[in-house]
Amino acid sequence: MTNLDDTPARVRLDRALDDLAVTFHGMAARPDETQCVCHWGSPDELALLKVPDRELDPDLLRRTWSAPDWNDHGAVLRRVLPQFGRALVGGAEPAYATGEIGQSFARSDWLRWPPRQRESVREFLHAWWSHSLTDPAPPIPVHALLTLCTEASATLTPWLAAWEALDHPTADQYLAEAAALWVRDLLYDDFPWPTWHDEDALRAELITWLARHTPARIPAHDADRIRLASLPTPARWEDPHW
């Protein structure tokens, strides 16, 4: 039996995690960074973020990435990224927080970081996504990880393209599960999760992709509901299967 940890996808993910550690080694929050000691944490905890490479306890790590009001969110995220990446892949952060996690990446403006840093984050997200699509027990469900990746990158396109290109029964299983979760929202012209980005454009891209590329990979009942959701109104309501 093949050990999942020895698959090319896992090797790629481990390399991406190693690259985060190398790329963001020695980074720290700005010396003048501030935070509310009443609601966020203690001065000693804040001081830890200004010292590079010190491991944070899980609660402090969570409070650090989730705080929305850093003066320089990018510097703070760079400080914790090696540990944060390992925590994410290991399932230490809850699946219900994937939207918030993605938004933390977005707040950091990582797509405008220097090329070496930007590519390290990009490869980490793509390697994690590719591995999860065939992981029989991903710590974060694939549909929730798509939320994270979309919110972090402001796009669905590369994540859907990777899913589409992967001919694997586990990826198909996750696609069927995701379609079943999303279709009710899509039928009523809603997007399946709260987003910081262009909700109408994301919904249109998601339903178009589902209608074109998934009918043979999901149960017939859900495929028909996806077909209905892809119809414009009022044609959707006039369809005999509505």
Helix (H, G, I), strand (E, B) or coil at 58: helix
Can you tell me the distance from the alpha carbon of 199 to that of 190, in angstroms, rounded to the nearest whole number? 8
pLDDT tens-digit readout, 79-121: 999 999 999 999 999 888 999 999 999 999 999 999 999 999 9
CB contact at 8 A, 102 and 150 = yes
Query: Is the pTM of the predicted complex or chain greater than 0.85?
Result: yes
CA distances from 132 to 124, 202, 240 (A): 12, 22, 38
CA terminus-to-terminus distance, the chain: 46
CA distances from 171 to 128, 190, 202 (A): 14, 24, 21
Helix (H, G, I), strand (E, B) or coil at 82: helix
